[in-house]
Amino acid sequence: MFSRALFILISSLIFINTIGSAQEQVVYKEVNATKLLMDVYYPEKIDSSKIYPAMVFFFGGGWVSGDISQFINQAKYFSKRGVVCFLVDYRIKSKNNTTPFECVKDAKSAIRFIRKRASYFKVDTTKIIASGGSAGGHLAAATALIDSFSETTDDLAISCIPNALVLFNPVIDNGPGGYGFEKIKDAYKNFSPLHNIKKGAPPTIIFLGTNDKHIPVETAAYYKKVMEKVGSRCDLKIYEGQNHGFFNYKNLEYYKKTVMEADAFLISLGYLKNEPVVTIE
């Protein structure tokens, strides 16, 4: 851990605290008296003269439930690998009585918040990785591909588009027959990542099990095909016999496999180097 001077933003929307293993907990947004937080994990040996890739994690839960603890182990691993990691809270139906549209707004706000304050977080704004599982994977992809659903209080001059995507059994098809269509109906045309892939889409890796009851392998394969058609990279890693959520830490074997594949993907993009070597625990 390193020492940092207490920092106060003019907007008064941020506070710093020590929470669990995270070096900081930050308020990134306030909506109707609801404060939305992100936990920040820094590299163990950070050089204040350098900037680092950022990895922003969105938890899953069908836009209804879940919490930021889902990706705590991935955040700890990648922070040791030299990435500033963010575990992002966002409004969900069970706590805030919100719809999936508010979830997308919050995800976009989070990316903009990090990019605007990149110098404080020591983040390289050309190496921001959005990541998430299931509905959280949808949010990560939405920040990259969906033009609609920005918060009215956001500074739209700041891009919410990440530079790469690491998606764990993501909800990528919200159209008829896809996940969540009954919640969003015809809005899927402006909400579904699969229906909004365009030239310039960030390089992406997708992890999916063959027994996933929510995301068919055929959907992910088609997503990859469309991505490649517009000239974007899309790596698809299929795991035989695995169910939805197979990548979570409790399934240690596949947690390790997906983390290693994500690591290799980020090395291939030039975001990570081979060193330091980190033991996956």
pLDDT tens for each residue of 88-127: 999 999 999 999 999 999 999 999 999 999 999 999 999 9
DSSP-assigned beta bridge partners for residue 133: 168
pLDDT, residue 16, reads 37
> How does DSSP assign the chain, residue by residue?
---------TT-------BTTBSEEEEEEEETTEEEEEEEE--SS--TT--EEEEEEE--STTTS--GGGGHHHHHHHHHTT-EEEEE----HHHH---HHHHHHHHHHHHHHHHHTHHHHTEEEEEEEEEEETHHHHHHHHHHH--S---TTS-TTS----SEEEEES-----STTSTTHHHHGGGGGGT-GGGG--TTPPPEEEEEETT-SSS-HHHHHHHHHHHHHTT--EEEEEETT--TTTTSTTSHHHHHHHHHHHHHHHHHTTSS-S-S-----
Beta-carbon count within 10 A of 107 CB: 26
Tokens of 260: 């290693």
Q: Is pLDDT at 9 greater than 90 in this prediction?
A: no
Tokens of 176: 């008829």
pLDDT, residue 30, reads 96
| Closest of 203, 198, 26, 41 to residue 123, by C-alpha | 41
Which pTM value belongs to this model? 0.92
> What's phi and psi for 205, nearest 5 deg?
-125, 135
pLDDT tens for each residue of 173-200: 999 999 999 999 999 999 999 999 999 9
Q: Domain 38-268: give its CATH code.
A: 3.40.50.1820
Region 57-71: mean pLDDT is 97
Q: Show me where the domains of the chain are located.
A: 38-268
